[in-house]
């Protein structure tokens, strides 16, 4: 698979994907955005809920973030993240409230927008209709785009508090434990192995 080694070139590739998706799935209805790479730990991507970039002429643009921790995922996964955030932008522009709980819980309004625009959606109790992947038509379209994969991602180093590391269930999210060393724990709710979560343990 062709790869990209320079972050600036990959930003151009993501912009190309955004523009092609805008044309194919949204009839060029979505505005231009600024694509950034932040060290987002809680999601693969994020769309700002208001324009955050301003030029000298006072024109404002929204920001679409792709997490630096998972930026080296497969083209289908990266494309699903971009299309997911485009759904949020579409709903925002049309006054559709598609999330609650500070943007974490995705409701059925989001599900409808996503399924109407190239995504399959799965539900999870704590985050709603949040988990998305490309449907078959979208996968075929992405294959034609011949997207290059970025080789690198930001290293996730253990973040501790008083020597404790946080481990969380990646399946249902209901089980969290703290340990001073590496542990192998199975969630009692869904049977998933807990994974290291770099977020710091909350005080109190």
In tens, the pLDDT along 1-21 reads 788 888 889 999 999 999 999
Residues 146 and 165 grouped into a single domain: no
Residues 189 and 140 grouped into a single domain: no
- pLDDT for residue 39: 74
Residues 61 and 136 grouped into a single domain: yes
Mode of pairing for the β-strands spanning 3-4 and 149-150: parallel
Residues 135 and 187 grouped into a single domain: no
Alpha-carbon distance 7 to 159, whole Å? Answer: 25
Residues 31 and 117 grouped into a single domain: yes
Q: Which residue, of 150, 167, 189, is where some domain finishes?
A: 150
Q: Residue 37's pLDDT band (boundaries 50, 70, 90)?
A: confident
The domain in which residue 74 lies consists of 3-150
Residues 78 and 144 grouped into a single domain: yes
Residues 164 and 193 grouped into a single domain: yes
Query: What does the pLDDT look like over 21-34, one tens digit per residue?
Result: 999 999 999 999 99
CB 163 within 8 A of CB 170: no
CB 71 within 8 A of CB 152: yes
pTM of the model: 0.75
Residues 112 and 178 grouped into a single domain: no
Residue in 126, 29, 146, 24 with CA at minimum distance from that of residue 76: 146
Residues 56 and 74 grouped into a single domain: yes
The average confidence (pLDDT) of the chain is: 86
**Tally of structural domains, the chain:** 2
């Amino acid at each position: 698979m062709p790869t990209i080694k320079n972050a600036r070139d990959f930003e151009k590739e993501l912009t190309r994907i955004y523009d092609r998706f805008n044309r194919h799935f949204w009839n060029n209805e979505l505005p231009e955005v600024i694509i950034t790479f932040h060290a987002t730990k809680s999601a693969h991507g994020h769309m700002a809920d208001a324009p955050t970039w301003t030029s000298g002429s006072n024109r404002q643009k929204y920001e679409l973030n792709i997490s630096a921790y998972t930026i080296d995922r497969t083209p289908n996964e990266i494309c699903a993240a971009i299309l997911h955030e485009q759904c949020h932008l579409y709903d925002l522009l049309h006054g559709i409230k598609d999330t609650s709980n500070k943007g974490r819980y995705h409701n059925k309004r989001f599900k409808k927008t996503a399924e109407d625009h190239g995504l399959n959606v799965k539900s999870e109790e704590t985050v709603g209709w949040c988990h998305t992947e490309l449907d078959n038509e979208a996968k075929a379209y992405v294959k034609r785009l011949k997207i290059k994969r970025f080789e690198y991602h930001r290293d996730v180093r253990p973040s501790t508090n008083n020597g404790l590391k946080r481990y969380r269930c990646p399946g249902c999210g209901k089980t969290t434990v703290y340990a001073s060393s590496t542990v192998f724990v199975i969630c009692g709710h869904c049977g998933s192995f807990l994974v290291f979560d770099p977020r710091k343990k909350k005080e109190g």
